[in-house]
Structure 1
């Protein structure tokens, strides 16, 4: 049986293009997932794996729909192979029913992993360069220096609690505490 697996990372994304490709590839059963590929908790993938039988063929539109890392993809494909299940990725033209297709999978997966590592290295280098120039990464502070001065003044009133001050500035108490500690 040809079994299609489609995955989108968020509820807002649409899986129609994947489903069209899987239907065009004559998949008889489809499993559709809406969660990040990094997540270990992918119920539809687990359900599909549990239902696999010898001689089934798993079809995906693209490799990254099945797994985000080379290690995960290889583990899944090794699991498929041990069950007598074949794998086809439509965009990459990988078909593990042949030795050449299996080799192509390993080469493409290695290149994809290499590309992800290069992106990670470039990102880290860019952040380090920005820090060296005095730029700080991360979220914008919720409380300005002026807000913190006002919070200090409000807390001088013995009847005013930190919870009330936090509500006034629409932040949590831990956020208020961190801002007060940072500017004391």
Structure 2
């Protein structure tokens, strides 16, 4: 049963000293670090080493929740995964400790708020899409076949250039040429 710490700073100019001192004072036997890596990036070598090292009955300790990650949803997923591995979690600044009933309660409240936030985002997105459709806006990409036909007709009629079509659709001119060759081949076969 060990307490293993994790510390992170976002830029190489920032200093880990405050976090390291707090983690050592909390009793961490080892501390892994990441320096100059954003919390939004879950591909962090120090965090990966920490997670690999944790065994059942160990505790992952961080100075603050935001050192582990920026997204509440990702934090909750990570702590839930730790719980499934029988690893406890402790955040020193927020006083979250999943080894206590109060800490588990606080964590579950955070999880419920994250779920609520996800559902609100989904509802707002659906409402925004419905409003856009009601205004006559098209949602999503145009079907590829329609784009191909429009591009081919515009180029064949001389109303636009290959470069203009590429710019319009946000693709490279060679992609337009390949698409045109493919659609001519389909027309010849069909």
TM-score tier by shorter-chain length is 0.5 to 0.7
Unaligned stretches of 5+ residues in structure 1: 8-12, 155-163
Q: What's the counterpart of residue 25 of structure 1? A: 22
Distance in 2, matches of 1:109 and 1:17, equals: 30
Q: Which structure has more helix as a fraction of its residues?
A: 2
1:51 CA drift (Å): 1.0
Q: What CA distance in whole angstroms lies between the structure 1 residues aligned with 2:178 and 2:94?
A: 47
1:2-58 CA distance string (max 9 Å, x none): 411549xxxxx7487795763353255124366866x7x776544322212444433
Q: Deviations over 1:122-167 (max 9, x none)?
A: 1121111111111234579xx9xx976542236xxxxxxxxx9479
37, 51, 60: which one aligns with 1:57 = 60
Q: CA contact under 8 A between 2:6 and 2:50: conserved in structure 1?
A: no
Report the CA distance shift for 1:51/1:2 in structure 2 as closer, same or farther (over 3 A).
Answer: closer
- CA displacement 1:87-119 (0-9 Å, x = unmatched): 123564312232211111111111122112111
2:107 aligned to which of 105, 108, 119: 105
In the alignment, what sits opposite 1:151?
A: 155
RMSD over aligned Cα, in angstroms? 4.6
- In structure 2, the CA distance between the partners of 1:57 and 1:70, relative to structure 1 (3 Å rule), is closer
Secondary structure, aligned partner of 1:25: helix
Paired position in structure 2 for 1:122: 124
Q: Is the 8 A contact 2:59 2:90 kept in 1?
A: no
> Of 60, 75, 78, which residue of structure 1 is paired with 2:83?
78
* Equivalent pairs, count: 157
